[in-house]
Every structure is written in C-alpha cells, then in structure tokens.
Structure 1
Amino acid sequence: MQNIAEFRIIGRIGSAEIKDKVAFLDIAANYGRKVGNEWEDDTHWNRVTLFGKNIARAEKMGKGDLVHATGRVRQSRYERNGETVYGVDLIVDRIAVIAKNGRPADDQHDDDA
C-alpha cells in the first residue's frame, strides 16, 4: 500500500504571485462556525504552490475566482540561527476554475492533467 499525504481545497483566489518557474496562489476556504446561537463564516487562507503547466493555468485565473485544487502535502525542514524551522508546502497537482468571479466557468477543467 502506498502512503500518501494529500489535500483538496475549494475556495476563492485572494492573490496570485506568478514567477518564472513557480506560482503561488492564496486561496480562501470558508467553514461554518457557531458563535453563540449564530453561524458565522470562519475563513482559512491556504497558500498553494504550482509548477509546470499549472503556472500557465494560474495566469488565466484572477482574484475572486472559485477554484478546486488538489495535490500533495510536503513537509520542509531547515536550520535558521541554530533552530530547526518546520513548514508545510501544498503542491498542486490539479487545479480547475469552478466559477469566474461568481459566474460558472466554461471549459476550465484540466482533463489533460
């Protein structure tokens, strides 16, 4: 049996940082949370990393687009000033636009991935 660590995020793009060989998207996902007798949205921001053909896809996406991203979780570790620093990277394998700023996306799925 293969061991895996993976993620799935459905949320709206808040910002994008596109570079030559890597892209980063900040995606907001909302969860319901009960506060007293009322339900409120509890927004969680997730920074995902894209490589290869997913960079070209990210270039076509904009702030507010609803996206579905899946991929693998990678833990990183390095030394800084004698201390070990741990981090978690969310590496996108597949990403698709569900809606462009509130309008359904047409033909944005990545069936060739």
Structure 2
Amino acid sequence: MPKNVAEFQLIGNVGKITRREKVAYVSVAVNNNWREDGEWKSETVWNSVVCFQNVAAQIEAVEKGDLVRVTGTPRESRHGEGADEKYRTELVAQTFSILAKGGGEEK
C-alpha cells in the first residue's frame, strides 16, 4: 500500500457537461456548511471534473441536475508558454456514479 495518497470525493449535483472527442468536463456543485456565531451558513462551490475515456461509459447517462458521487485524483497542469503560462489543479475522475436522477428518482 502506498504511503502517500492524493485523492478526492465529491457528492453533489451536475451543472454543465461539455463533451469532447476524448474527454468530458463536468461541473459538480457541492455545498460547504459551517457554523458561525451559533448560526449555520452554507456556500455552493463548483468543481470542474475531467473525465477521460476510462470513465466515459460511467458518464454516458449523466444529465444536468443529477446527484452524483465522483472519486479521483487531483493533478497539476500547465498551459501556455513564457509570460502566458498558466497553472491549475485538475480533478481527474476515476469513478463517476449517479446516486439520483435530477427528478429525484433513485437509481
């Protein structure tokens, strides 16, 4: 078993789905909840998940509004050159499961 692990798990609702030839990008909204001064607060955070061909079959039936569970690994990527070089952290899906369809029906 490896000593060092970087992984993520999201349970949230699907927003935008952008399908390309070899990759799909799925935005997943999750709510962060915390208590401040005795009052519960909530914030919606959108996460962009990168889905390569290894999970293509798992996202075939995914639609906007579906409740999903996504697991995977974060990775750093770099785009551009010189002064235009930009870095970002990508969330790369390993599993993508529909927990409930947008209409609330269990699957």
For this structure pair, what is the TM-score category when the shorter chain's length is used for normalisation? Answer: 0.7 to 0.9
Give distance in 2, aligned partners of 1:21 and 1:84: 24
What is the identity, as a one-letter code, of the residue corresponding to 1:51? F
Question: 1:104: how far off?
Answer: 1.0
Give me the identity figure in percent: 35
1:47-62 matched pairs, under 5 angstroms:
47-62=48-63
How large is the RMSD of aligned CA atoms in angstroms?
Answer: 1.9
TM-score (norm 1): 0.80
Q: Which residue of 2 aligns with 1:18?
A: 19
Range with greater deviation from structure 2 (78-87 or 90-99): 78-87
Q: Give aligned pairs, total.
A: 105
Helix, strand or coil: the match of 2:56?
helix
TM-score (norm 2): 0.84
Question: Unaligned regions of 5+ residues in structure 2, if any?
Answer: none
Q: Which residue of 1 aligns with 2:42?
A: 41
Question: 1:93: how far off?
Answer: 0.5
Q: Which residue of 1 aligns with 2:88?
A: 87
Whether 2:87 is the aligned partner of 1:104: answer no
Question: Unaligned regions of 5+ residues in structure 1, if any?
Answer: 106-113
Q: Which runs of 4+ in 1 moved over 6 A?
A: none
Give distance in 2, aligned partners of 1:62 and 1:79: 32
Question: 1:38: how far off?
Answer: 3.0
